[in-house]
Structure 1
C-alpha cells in the first residue's frame, strides 16, 4: 500500500500537469506562474519550438501560439519517480491543433509527445523546474513559417 504522502504527492503532481494544460489551452499565461518555478528551464526544440527560461518562454508562448485558433493538451499516462521533495516524470501528451494560415483554410493536425520533467516541492506546492518536450510522432502537420525566436528581454 502506498503511504499517504506519496498518494498526496501523486495527486498534486497530476493536478499540476492539468493546470499546465488548461493554462496553455485557455491562453492564461499568468496561470503558468503556479506551474513552473521562477527559475525553470523549458525546452520545446525537439517539437519545433524554442528553449529558454520560464520568463522567456512565458513571453514567447502568446506569439508562437497565435497562429493556432484551437488546440488541446491532453496529458495521460505518467511514469513518476518521487524522491522526497524532488521528482522526475515522463508523461504522454496527445495534442490536436488547428493551424490557420494567412491565406487558405484551417488545417487540423496531431502531435504525440512526452513531457520529461524535473519537479520540486515548494512552499506553494509542486512545481516544474525543468520541462523537455520529447517528440514522438505527428500526423498531417502543415508547412508553417518558423516560430518566433525567444526574446532576451523577457
Structure 2
C-alpha cells in the first residue's frame, strides 16, 4: 500500500472538519487548525484556535447537522497549500413547533500548512453561495 499524497491528506482534513462539527467533537476540531489560525465568513471572524472552537459551538443550536464535502481543488507548494472545497451543509432545527432544514451551499477557501507531520488549516474562509430554509417533512 502506498503512502497518501498531500492532496489525499488535505481532502481527509476537510472531511474530518465536517465530521468534527457534525459530531460536536470540539477536541478533534481544535486539532485541525494551527494555534493562530483564522476562520472567517459572512459577518464573522474567529482568530485563533480557541475562538474557532468557541464560535463553532454555536452550531449546537441545531438539533442535527450534516456537512457534505464535494469538489476540492488543491495546490501544494512545499509545506504550504491552498484549496477550494465545495460543501453543502444541512442544519435541522425547530421553529414554532415545526422542524425546518436550513441548507447552505458553501465554498471554503483554505490556506494550509504542513506542521508536526500533518496538514492543518491556517486560514479557512467560508463563502456562502446560496441558502434555503424550508419546513422538513417526513
TM-score (norm 2): 0.88
In the other structure, the counterpart of 1:150 is none
Pair 1:22-2:9 in alignment = no
Q: Which runs of 5+ in 2 are unaligned?
A: none
Pair 1:31-2:50 in alignment = no
Q: CA deviation at 1:56?
A: 0.9
Pair 1:75-2:55 in alignment = no
> Per-residue CA shift, 1:46-91, capped at 9, x if unaligned?
2x6x2122211211222x1122001111111111111110000111
In the other structure, the counterpart of 1:99 is 93
Q: CA deviation at 1:109?
A: 2.2
State the Cα RMSD in Å.
Answer: 1.9
Ranges of 4+ aligned residues in structure 1 off by more than 2 Å: none
In the other structure, the counterpart of 1:134 is 127
3-state SS of the aligned residue for 2:97? coil
> Per-residue CA shift, 1:6-28, capped at 9, x if unaligned?
x6101111111111010000000
In the other structure, the counterpart of 1:118 is 111
Report which of the two has the higher share of strand.
Answer: 2
Q: CA deviation at 1:111?
A: 0.8
- Equivalences, count: 133
